[in-house]
């Protein structure tokens, strides 16, 4: 086969794959619209009540969510961050595995930021590229619309350590 024919095939394959990229990118952007308005407090109340009401749930347990869709909620950005805790990291790994997501997702969530919703304070892991923009763009104490996914909780007796992850944010008013 002449060299130019191989080159044409190579270019055709590259073009075919590059044409798929915008479609995948649009699909990812449109998935943000699937986040329905909600409140973290509602998730926490619902999940806590369900765990406490079920006598089969042990006093010490890792609860992994099966929810695939997240919520769009208004929270206050406290401006503090820290490395993700070991317990949160393990719970995230369990959730990621149960969802069939690749291990590469672990490297996206390495830092937790402090948020408030009413009186509830939560350290939430934030996707690293999102966190970098968040630090630069948001003011401490400012309200933000966060797109969060419920991962699960660590239960120790009647105490729960909730884990939700921030996938995206908007500093503008909620939709």
pLDDT tens digit string along 10-67? 333 333 333 333 333 333 444 777 889 999 999 999 999 988 888 888 888 888 888 7
Burial readout 76-101 (b: 16 or more C-beta within 10 A, e: otherwise): bbbeeeeebeeebbebbbebbeeeee
Q: Cα(156)–Cα(126) distance, rounded to whole angstroms?
A: 24
Both tokens assigned to 71? 């919520």
**Residue 57 CB partners (closer than 8 Å, separation 6+):** 51, 63, 155
Q: Cα(10)–Cα(38) distance, rounded to whole angstroms?
A: 48
């Amino acid at each position: 086969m002449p060299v130019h024919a191989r080159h044409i095939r190579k270019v055709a394959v590259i073009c075919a794959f590059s044409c798929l990229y915008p479609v995948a990118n649009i699909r990812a952007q449109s998935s943000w619209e699937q986040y329905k308005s909600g409140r973290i407090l509602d998730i926490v109340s619902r999940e806590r009540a369900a765990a406490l009401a079920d006598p089969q749930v042990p006093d010490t347990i890792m609860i992994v969510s099966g929810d695939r869709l997240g919520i769009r909620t208004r929270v206050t950005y406290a401006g503090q961050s820290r490395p993700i805790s070991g317990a949160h990291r393990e719970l995230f790994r369990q959730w990621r595995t149960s969802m069939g997501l690749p291990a590469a997702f672990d490297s996206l969530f390495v830092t937790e930021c402090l948020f408030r919703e009413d009186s509830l304070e939560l350290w939430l892991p934030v996707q690293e590229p999102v966190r970098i923009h968040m630090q630069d763009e948001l003011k401490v104490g400012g309200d933000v619309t966060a797109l969060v996914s419920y991962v699960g909780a660590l239960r120790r007796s009647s105490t729960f350590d909730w884990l939700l992850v921030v996938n995206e944010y908007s500093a503008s008013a909620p939709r």
